[in-house]
Amino acid sequence: MPVNPADGAVLGALYGTDAMRAAMGEHAFLQRMLDVEAALARAQGRLGIIPAEAVPAITAAADASRFDLTAMAAATRNTGYPVVGLVKQLSALAGPEAGRWTHWGATTQDIMDTAVVLQMRDGLALIESDLRAIIAAFAAMAATHRDTVMAGRTHLQHALPVTFGYKVAVWLAPLMASLDGLPRVRERALRLSFGGAAGTLASLGDQGLAVTRELAAELSLNEADIPWHVARDGLNEAVCWLGILCGTLAKIATDVMLMMQTELAEVSEPHVRGRGGSSTMPQKRNPIACEYVLSQARGVHALVPQMLAGMAQDFERGTGPWQTELLALPQAFLLGHGALSQARFIAEGLVVDAARMRRNVDATGGLIVSEAVMMGLAPVFGRGEAHHIVNDACDLAIAEGIGLTEALMRDARVSARLDVATIAAMTDPAAYLGSAGGFVDRVLARLARG
């Protein structure tokens, strides 16, 4: 019976994804450990360290579906690690002759670390696929709405006009940065872990470096300069990268969720019949995808410090911190991919109400462009006096519920020197967008350059 909702048959539909569960789950971990054992045998067979005739039997036996998991669980409970029981069964399945040559010169952590790295490779491929899809969807959205005027908000209040394309480009840029950083994450994290009992590969004599080279090639992994049993920076870089990516997704979900409020109604998640509904209020269309982006992103953020704390490893083999990683890393990947999956649903189907955006911009009768009016009046009255004029006009507009243009024209200082058409032009939100369009163009151009 799963305790973590992300692993449950029912709640697992909300948290994580089946694809990532398959990549990072226990069955995959066991199979990846066997993949490492089989690859080790092939590498050592080529080097003449173990008999070549033992290799096919070891490779054929390295199939997790043939293993007695109950027996493995008992052995794991007894030794504290799964590798002893795994190697015992692997040796038995390979037969008495070939079985003598399994796990030659390796240590438990070599097998477990490298298995996790192989799982991460699969996990990062899943993440990259969804990240690229989200980037493509938001790029198209930014281009479509490059000039769609909406209210920019600071401290949840109207600030200045922006465009929806600008807002989407702000979402897009850090997603692109995360994608740009992925090759470094792979380079640093997807490294073979192979050092033997204390990291020196002493059991392999003068052939330790040769086995390392062959094993890394066999698994298509980077070869580390030195064993990293107690140097966990590579794995932490991957989880921290995932934490930053989830932070970006959480910002997007927060914006969309707020813009979905009835009073704003500027965007909405894609509508699927029954999705986001209420058991008692038929009209409800709740921001379900946003909620699960946020919840899973926060889950990842809670796991990042757990991983970082595990970097304080003692001497040549950690006493506790290493074991903590197995609790944090797979869950971080599962929840991170869950957040990405929900974000992709949003990105590829977001419903945008440009007309409502414009009505919201106009709701304050021009107050949103008070800065523009002040800057427009400054050459006539001086900046200080212009500020006072506009401030007085804003107070009047708010007090009497009239537009800013009317309030300004009631001021004798203004009406004596400027006509209503000039003031009306100053209070047009579409005329005060600054470099919003240019910023969108720059982000899209960088994406096009790759």
Query: Active-site positions?
Result: 278, 317
d(CA 241, CA 16): 18
Q: Which helix (DSSP H) or strand (DSSP E) does residue 339 occupy?
A: helix 321-349
Range 259-276 burial, b when 16+ CB lie within 10 A, else e: bbeeebebbbbeeeeeeb
Distance of CA 106 to the CA centre of its chain: 34
- Strands 267-268 and 351-352 turn out to be antiparallel
The CA distance from 8 to 317, in Å, is 34
Cα separation, 76 vs 86, in Å, equals 9
- Tracing tokens 């995932």 back to the chain, one arrives at 242
Q: Amino acid letter at 101?
A: W
Amino acid identity for residue 132 in this structure: R
Nearest to 6 by CA among 402, 385, 397, 338: 338
**Helix orientation angle between 164-189 and 108-144, rounded to the nearest 10 degrees:** 160
Residue 62, classed as helix, strand or coil, is: coil
Q: How many CA atoms lie within 13 A of 61 on its CB side?
A: 25
Vertex 107: Cα angle to 103 and 113 (nearest 5): 105
CB 216 within 8 A of CB 227: no
Q: Give the number of other CB atoms < 10 A from CB of residue 122.
A: 17
Bridge partners (DSSP) listed for residue 215: none
- Inter-residue contact 252 to 293 (CB < 8 Å): yes
Separation between Cα atoms, residue 412 and residue 396, nearest integer Å: 14
Q: Are 385 and 373 in contact (CB under 8 A)?
A: no
First-to-last alpha carbon distance for the chain, in angstroms, is 46
